[in-house]
Amino acid sequence: MAAAKRPALPVILLANDLLDGDVVFATGPVDGLHWSRDPGAALVGGDEATAERLEAFAAAELGRQQVVDAYLVDVAVEDGVPVPRHYRERMKTTGPSIRRDLGKQAELPLAEAFTNPAFLRA
């Protein structure tokens, strides 16, 4: 990923798991990044150095064939959790808005910032 295309800070890194396509988020300390299925656990890159580490992790993991379609997403931190600024990525983070019984919104105890009714319309 070229630096010029990097979205505005702060950012998180998301991808789809190779095996089941589920959306995964880079989490953990900067020097021990790994994947979590919980968007609330995503590591927020609030500075250039962290964003670069997330980019480097994305490239390495794509190379290791663990994930597909890894990219940085700009977020707003709300109630301590990183909420994507764009509605497309918010949809990707929770699951279909028309089937609340499917996707992460049904499988995980998501933070309220992801599930309040205004979430997709912000």
Partner 1 sequence: MYRYDEFDERFVRERVAQFRDQVARRLSGSLTEDEFKPLRLKNGVYLQLHAYMLRIAVPYGTLSSRQMRQLALIGERYDRGYGHFTTRTNLQFNWPKLRDIPDILDLLADVEMHAIQTSGNCIRNVTADHFAGVARDEIEDPRPTAELIRQWSSLHPEFDYLPRKFKIAVTGAAHDRAVIKAHDIGLRILRHPQTGDIGYEVIVGGGLGRTPMIGKVVRDFLPKADLLAYLEAIMRVYNLEGRRDNKYKARVKILVHEIGTEEFSRRVEEEFARLDGPSVNADPAEVARIAAYFAAPSYETLPAGDHGFETAKAASPAFARWVETNVTDHRQPGYAALTISLKPIGAPPGDATSEQMRVVADLADAYSLSEIRVTHAQNLVLPHVKLSDLFAVWQRLGEAELATANAGLITDIIACPGLDYCALATARSIPIAQAIARRFADPVRQKEIGVLNIKISGCINACGHHHVGHIGILGLEKRGIESYQITLGGDATENAAIGEILGPGLAAEDVPDAIERIVGVYLAQREADESFIETTRRIGLAPFKAAFQGASRQDSSEVSHAVA
Beta carbon nearer to partner 1, 109 or 117: 117
d(CA 114, CA 41): 12
**Cβ-proximal residues to 1 (8 Å cutoff; 6+ apart), any chain:** 55, 58, 59, 71, 72
- Under the binding rule (CB under 8 A), the answer on residue 100 touching partner 1 is no
Beta carbon nearer to partner 1, 40 or 103: 103
Q: Mark residues 14-53: x for contact with partner 1 by CB under 8 A, - for none.
A: --x-xxxxxx------------------------------
Contact criterion met (CB below 8 Å) for 81 and 111:
yes
- Under the binding rule (CB under 8 A), the answer on residue 56 touching partner 1 is no
- Under the binding rule (CB under 8 A), the answer on residue 2 touching partner 1 is no
d(CA 120, CA 75): 14
